[in-house]
Amino acid sequence: MIGGKTKTEANYRAISLDSSSSLKDFSMDRKKYFKKYFLNEKIEEKDNHAANMGRIVETILMEPEEIDNKFYMSACASPPTGLMLEFVEALYRHTRDATDESGVVVKPMNELLEAAYKDSGFKIKYEAVVSKFVGSDAEIYYNEIRKVRTLNLTVITSQDITNAEKIVEELRTNSATAHLVNLVNSVNYSVINQMQIENYEVDEHRFKSMMDKVIINHQLKVIQVYDLKCTWSVENFYEEYYLYRRSYIQAYLYYKAAESLTKDEESEYYGYKVEHPQFIVCDSTNYYSPIVYTLSDEDMKEAYEGFVHKGRTYPGVKNLISDLKWALENNIWNISRVNYLSGGTINIKGK
């Protein structure tokens, strides 16, 4: 078990253990989990501006020395947007799929452009789209992502960096967050950014976690875990992010990860108390003030057992682990455990 940052992020991600991210993927898309984590196929994640901004903010705030290892500065003032971005991303995918092991693109460019046009959703004529693309920043961006995504880098712009720096400054000066993000190591406190904990167990299944910020109060013997989120809807974080992206899974596993240190007699934190994780939520456009969201005992119970919100059921960590272990043990991925055990016949309302 590791209770501190001793590996790079790339090495951490190469460790073959489940995490809150993989369990979330399993809960939302078993096919994706099967391909990404079971078959170890490379799955291209679609770029999300708020998520990318969160990664930039997190890196500048906590690991500024890692900027060049995670990001590539684009020559474009700003990336393409709207349907042109859809076109560029589609062209990238078709180019990637048409590239052989030696790096040679085996399909003609016009064929790739036509395929990207069909995928993009453009209503204007194909010739007009190609005319807008050729020689533009969109073509530069396309060539950049072809180059750097194979290196696991994310293309960003100078505008992104400027915006991220403003968000970081807001976090450092805002009364709700300044005392958290500005805290440094001292006799009374240990502040660990990107804390990695591996091989802890929840319901006899092993996990790994890398937590954004962990503050350890040695006087009170208390461990507090924080996760930084950058979103376009700060004040609607509960429904728009916590539920929609199932961050309650992350909160529960982070809690159990930290708790595992307090139960390990060889750990320097043995006997410490772990508080419920908190989310530091900032605005990806740096307009809304950041908010720190706390979790109650009931929230943690729901995260483990599952819950219903506005008529929708959210599976808890307990059942997700059971379902995942069943899928792994039986190598069955195309149907859920419940539906398999029912013989493939269930009530329309799942009752």
pLDDT tens for 314-338 read 999 999 999 999 999 999 999 999 9
Give first-to-last CA distance, the chain, whole Å: 41
Q: How far apart are CA 343 and CA 331, in angstroms?
A: 17
Structure tokens at 61: 């705030």
Q: How far apart are CA 87 and CA 128, in angstroms?
A: 13
The pLDDT-based confidence of 176 (bands split at 50, 70, 90) is very high
Fold designation for 177-341:
Lambda Exonuclease; Chain A (3.90.320)
Q: pLDDT tens digits, residue range 23-69?
A: 999 999 999 999 999 999 887 766 677 888 999 999 999 999 999 99
What's the Cα-to-Cα distance from 154 to each of 148, 191, 226, rounded to whole Å?
7, 27, 24
Q: How far apart are CA 145 and CA 112, in angstroms?
A: 16
Average the pLDDT over 128-143 and give the result.
96
Residue 15 has a pLDDT of: 81
Strand-pair category, 205-217 with 307-309: unpaired
CA 112 to chain centre: 30
Sign of CA dihedral 316, 322, 323, 327: positive
Q: Is the pLDDT of residue 166 over 90?
A: yes
CB atoms within 10 A of CB 174: 17
Written as one letter, the residue type at 55 is: R
Q: pLDDT tens digits, residue range 194-232?
A: 999 999 999 999 999 999 999 999 999 999 999 999 999
3-state secondary structure of 213: strand
What's the Cα-to-Cα distance from 201 to each of 167, 278, 299, 326, 328, rounded to whole Å?
36, 21, 21, 17, 16
Q: Report domain extents, the chain.
A: 43-169, 177-341
Q: Which residue has the tokens 């960096």?
A: 161
Q: Is the pLDDT of residue 9 over 80?
A: no
Average the pLDDT over 156-179 and give the result.
96
3-state secondary structure of 59: helix
Structure tokens at 323: 């379902």
Average the pLDDT over 66-75 and give the result.
93
Percent of the chain with pLDDT over 90: 85
Average the pLDDT over 95-107 and give the result.
92
CA 104 to chain centre: 32
**Which DSSP letter does residue 212 get?**
E
Q: pLDDT tens digits, residue range 272-310?
A: 999 999 999 999 999 999 999 999 999 999 999 999 999
